[in-house]
Chains A and B, each alone.
Chain A
Amino acid sequence: MVNLIVIFMAIVLVNNFVLSQFLGICSFLGVSNKMSSSVGMGGAVVFVMVIAELVTWPVMQVLNKFDIAYLQTVVFILVIAALVQFVEMFMKRYLPALQKALGIFLPLITTNCAILGATINAISYGYTYIESVVYAFGAGVGYMVAMVLFAGIREEKLATTEGIPAPFQGVGIILVAASIMALSFMGFTGMFQ
């Protein structure tokens, strides 16, 4: 149990997917301009990461059995894309409210590198089934934390170009702000060994 908590906290704070592993940067920068959409995106990522992990871990065992682990990436993308499509159809039929809440973000993150990264990382660390699901859940929560914090910063401080030197306006200042936030997360290094 303690082991699982350590895995969870470590991936949320210390090895945060966005801020220290640079996974999922594109959606992190793209969707974090509004608090409401960043929460939606974060929720969708948590959801998809967990179900993707639930499916890819057994698939990996099959690949290992036939000794073709090098096909991992190809097969994972295939499986995750089909899975997300399936989940979307299922939700449209039975959970239209949830489907509406996640909205466009669900199909968007089908090919998000953070999803693939979480599944591949969990397997390369040699985690058990339970451990890797907790790892994926933590990775999603970490993504959501970074996203929501950054959306707050952008809404508060970067809403206008006021006081920003011309060359830094737009993407420039956003990247600078993101890297300063990533630096502050470096403070968690070594907390969970």
Chain B
Amino acid sequence: MSGIMTPVLLVAVIGLICAGLLVFASKVFYVAVDERVTQVREVLPGANCGGCGFAGCDDYAANLVADEELPCTKCSPGGAGVAAQIAEILGRAAGSTEPEVAQVMCNGVCDARRTVLEWQGMSSCKGAKGWFSSPNACMFGCMGLGDCVNACQFDAIGIVDGIARVNRENCVACGACVGACPQKIIKLVPVKSQVHVLCSSTDKGAVAKKNCDNACIGCTKCTTVCNFGAISIEDNLARIDVSKCKSCGLCAVVCPTGAINSFKKLPPKAAAEKAAAAKKAAAAKAKEAPAKAKDAAPAEA
């Protein structure tokens, strides 16, 4: 009898000690868990995509309750509906959810860009950048090797004509591609803003143009034509302030290289302006060309 009693008793005692320890710990080290955390968590979609910037939906819910300042609109897959529900649970104003979408800030398609080597290595932008900066002449642009495509969980980005393009219907603006791109040329932009500078090159105009036909050359035509002061040139690159931009598309019209692109169909008036601008540019070029040749001749001699 004692043969079996000793181990049974001993294990039971050890178990009891452990149980007592845990009961004691749960009382002494008790941390109140806000029931609102569970409620918020239930509302969130549970995609755990990390688009909000936290480690999954649980983490976002905990941070939402803990931090009064944190906006409840960070969940891109959930959208406005989820934000409203969270706001109701937490009893604060929902705030406006500005639906966003990823945008690749490069238009260096195969026909436009110059390449410096034929890349036959692994199909990874990160790898290509690590070895050679980029297979393209432009060091800033999209290499089209698909790191963003691999990162996307929603099948919303693909390589078209040598560069990454976003399918706006599928994109939930989780930002996975933004983090995956070694060139840092994918940005989250408001869906409603229709005009973007599709270039990320901060090279000087002449160099940028030599490397890619569609590059922004920093000519300031767009800054002068903009009626809202939304465009500024910084480091030889036009930058549109989305808060001021009204998506009128005038800048896209006057842009001589096509670096500024508009999703909107351009109004006829603007189209006429574009034609005029193109004419003017051509005339100026024709005038400049002989003058330049004259200037260059003595320098070469």
A interface residues (Cβ-Cβ under 8 A, vs B): 59, 62-63, 66-68, 71, 74-75, 78-79, 82-83, 85-86, 89-90, 92-94, 103, 159-160, 162-163
Given contacts A89-B26, A89-B29, A93-B29, A82 and B18 within 8 Å (CB-CB): yes
Name the distance in Å between B74's Cβ and chain A's nearest Cβ.
19
Instruction: Decide if A163 touches B18 in the complex (CB within 8 Å).
Output: no
**What total of A-B pairs shows CB separation below 8 Å?**
56
Name the distance in Å between B285's Cβ and chain A's nearest Cβ.
45
5 tightest A-B contacts by CB? Answer: A82-B18, A93-B29, A89-B25, A68-B7, A89-B29
Q: Which residue on chain B has the smallest CB distance to residue A87?
A: B25
Instruction: Decide if A159 touches B31 in the complex (CB within 8 Å).
Output: no
Instruction: Decide if A94 touches B29 in the complex (CB within 8 Å).
Output: yes
- Complex CA gap A160/B148 in Å reads 12
Instruction: Decide if B7 touches A71 in the complex (CB within 8 Å).
Output: yes
- The residues of B that contact A89 with a CB separation of less than 8 Å are 22, 25-26, 29
Determine whether B243 belongs to the interface, using a CB cutoff of 8 Å to chain A: no
B interface residues (Cβ-Cβ under 8 A, vs A): 6-7, 10-11, 14-15, 18-19, 21-22, 25-26, 28-31, 55, 122-124, 150
- Complex CA gap A70/B199 in Å reads 71
Name the distance in Å between A59's Cβ and chain B's nearest Cβ.
7
Instruction: Decide if B123 touches A86 in the complex (CB within 8 Å).
Output: no
Instruction: Decide if A75 touches B11 in the complex (CB within 8 Å).
Output: yes
Given contacts A68-B6, A71-B10, A78-B18, 8 further A-B pairs with CB under 8 A are: A68-B7, A71-B11, A85-B22, A92-B31, A93-B29, A93-B30, A93-B31, A162-B122
- The residues of B that contact A85 with a CB separation of less than 8 Å are 22, 25
Instruction: Decide if A160 touches B14 in the complex (CB within 8 Å).
Output: no
- Complex CA gap A160/B19 in Å reads 47
- Complex CA gap A85/B23 in Å reads 11
Instruction: Decide if B14 touches A59 in the complex (CB within 8 Å).
Output: yes
Instruction: Decide if A66 touches B10 in the complex (CB within 8 Å).
Output: yes
Chain B at the A interface: SS class: helix
Instruction: Decide if B123 touches A78 in the complex (CB within 8 Å).
Output: no
Name the distance in Å between B33's Cβ and chain A's nearest Cβ.
10
- Complex CA gap A71/B28 in Å reads 31
Partner of A75, one of B14, B22, B30, B150: B14
- Complex CA gap A74/B18 in Å reads 14
Instruction: Decide if B15 touches A90 in the complex (CB within 8 Å).
Output: no
- Complex CA gap A4/B29 in Å reads 36
Name the distance in Å between B294's Cβ and chain A's nearest Cβ.
54
Q: Which residue on chain A has the smallest CB distance to residue B15?
A: A78
- The residues of A that contact B26 with a CB separation of less than 8 Å are 89
- Complex CA gap A162/B11 in Å reads 54
Q: Which residue on chain B has the smallest CB distance to residue A65?
A: B10
Name the distance in Å between A61's Cβ and chain B's nearest Cβ.
13
Instruction: Decide if B10 touches A86 in the complex (CB within 8 Å).
Output: no
Given contacts A68-B6, A79-B14, A160 and B123 within 8 Å (CB-CB): yes
Name the distance in Å between A81's Cβ and chain B's nearest Cβ.
8
Q: Which residue on chain B has the smallest CB distance to residue A159?
A: B124
- The residues of B that contact A163 with a CB separation of less than 8 Å are 122
- The residues of B that contact A75 with a CB separation of less than 8 Å are 11, 14
- Complex CA gap A162/B121 in Å reads 10
- The residues of A that contact B150 with a CB separation of less than 8 Å are 159-160
Could you write out 10 A-B pairs with CB less than 8 Å apart? A59-B14, A66-B10, A68-B6, A83-B18, A89-B22, A90-B25, A94-B29, A103-B55, A160-B124, A160-B150
Partner of A82, one of B21, B29, B30, B123: B21
Instruction: Decide if B22 touches A82 in the complex (CB within 8 Å).
Output: yes
Name the distance in Å between A68's Cβ and chain B's nearest Cβ.
4
- The residues of A that contact B55 with a CB separation of less than 8 Å are 103
Partner of A86, one of B6, B15, B25: B25
